[in-house]
Amino acid sequence: MESGGPAKEPPRTSPLTSLLTLQDITVRGRSQPRLDRVSLQLKPGERLALLGPSGAGKSTLLAVANGLLEPDQGQVLWQGEPRARGARARRRQQARIGTLWQDLRLIEELTVQQNLNAARLAAWGWPRALLNLLLPLDTSACAAVLQRLDLDPALLNQPVSALSGGQRQRVALARLLRQEPLLLLADEPLASLDPRLAADLLTLLLELASPPRALLLSLHRPDLLAGFDRVVGLRAGRLVFDQPSTSLHPAQLEELYAGSEEP
């Protein structure tokens, strides 16, 4: 999509139906639940920020969303249908959910191009996956995602271990684009960045989350809520509020972070 053409398959959902639905999700923890009956709906094109102190369950919620974690109770719906049980169908769903990891999780030993193509592995069979380790594949598509993020296409055959910190951040984003996801997840992507880089990255992420793509992002800093449609507050595994970001009252934030040293 980002390299010009629209998604290959026609959108199965109208803008009104939900992309991702969490129904009464509970994830048990050692002493108290990490998520306690959390329900949430995300529509195509929506940009949702997840707020809450450390340990509130933000990362757990994102892990449930991208399928890494199976909830102990409750149901996850993807495009209105229960999440697939079979491994293959499940992976096809996961292929449409892209995650931007805080530690990026790029493969250091591979080139930028191989890393970008790794985002397509869900769709590729073995021959192509092996060929990608031998020859540069899909160079034009890879160059296009790099250019979209203002990166020099000459970086394509550099190993990731040779990149600077800022370049890595963008390559990770480029890999996300190359995956062509419908839902973008990001776990505290701004946490370890200096303020200017953080603002740049947030702008980029909000820009990339144009309809039909949706964005679900966990955040430490309530001052960066401007671009989001909705904001959800989590505290001790429970959903505290879920409302348009414009109607958020400072008192709600104070209550959300009460007792913690954060904002």
Partner 1 sequence: MRPAAPLWVLLPALVLVPVLALLPGISHGGGWELVGQFAAAALRPSLDPLVLGSVLGGLAVTAGIALLGWAGSLALGLVLGIASSRVVWRSCCGSAAPAGWIRRLLALPRSIHELLWGLLLLQLVGLQPAVAVVAIAIPFGALVARVVSDLLDALPTANLEALRCGGAPAPAALLTALGPPLLPQVISYSGYRLECALRSATLLGVFGLGGLGTELRLTLQSLAFPELWTGLWLLLAVMLLLEALLGWLRRRWAMPARLGLRQRAVGRQGREMVAAGLVLLPLLGAVAWGLEVRPAALLQWQGLPPLGPADWGAVAALPWPLLIGNTLLLTLTAAALAVGLAPLLLLLVQPWPAGGWLVRGLWALGRLWPPPLTALLLLFVLQPGVLTGALALGFHNLGILGRLLLEASETSGVAEQQALGAAGTGPRLALLYGRFSGLARPYLAYGAYRADVILRESVVVGLVGATGLGSQLLEALSSFAGDQLLALVLAYALLTLLGEDLSDRARLWLLETPHGDGHPQEAGGTWR
Q: Does 66 bind partner 1 (CB under 8 A)?
A: yes
Q: Does 129 bind partner 1 (CB under 8 A)?
A: yes
Site for partner 1 in 108-127 (CB under 8 A): 108-111, 114, 118-119, 121-122, 126
Q: Does 130 bind partner 1 (CB under 8 A)?
A: yes
How far apart, in whole angstroms, are the C-alpha atoms of residue 160 and residue 154? 13
> In this structure, are residues 112 and 158 in contact, taking their beta carbons and an 8 Å threshold?
yes
Q: Does 192 bind partner 1 (CB under 8 A)?
A: no
Can you tell me which of 101, 198, 238, 255 binds partner 1, judged by CB under 8 A? Answer: 101
Q: Does 92 bind partner 1 (CB under 8 A)?
A: yes
Interior angle at CA 202, CA 123 and CA 232, nearest 5: 90
Stretch that binds partner 1, among 6-14, 86-94, 137-145, 147-155 (CB under 8 A): 86-94
Sheet holding 35-42, edge to edge: 35-42, 20-27, 73-78, 81-82
Minimum CB–partner distance for residue 66 and partner 1 (Å)? 4
Can you tell me which of 7, 154, 162, 199 binds partner 1, judged by CB under 8 A? Answer: 162
Nearer to partner 1, 183 or 231 (CB): 183
Minimum CB–partner distance for residue 195 and partner 1 (Å)? 26
How far apart, in whole angstroms, are the C-alpha atoms of residue 15 and residue 22? 18
Stretch that binds partner 1, among 5-13, 16-24, 95-103, 146-154 (CB under 8 A): 95-103
Minimum CB–partner distance for residue 75 and partner 1 (Å)? 19
Q: Does 68 bind partner 1 (CB under 8 A)?
A: yes
Stretch that binds partner 1, among 1-9, 35-43, 71-79, 107-115 (CB under 8 A): 107-115
Can you tell me which of 159, 225, 227, 242 binds partner 1, judged by CB under 8 A? Answer: 159
> What are the C-alpha distances in Å from 210 to residues 33, 126, 164?
34, 32, 28
Can you tell me which of 95, 193, 198, 204 binds partner 1, judged by CB under 8 A? Answer: 95
Interacting residue ranges for partner 1, rule: CB under 8 A = 66-68, 87, 91-99, 101, 103, 105-111, 114, 118-119, 121-122, 126, 129-130, 133-135, 159, 161-162, 179
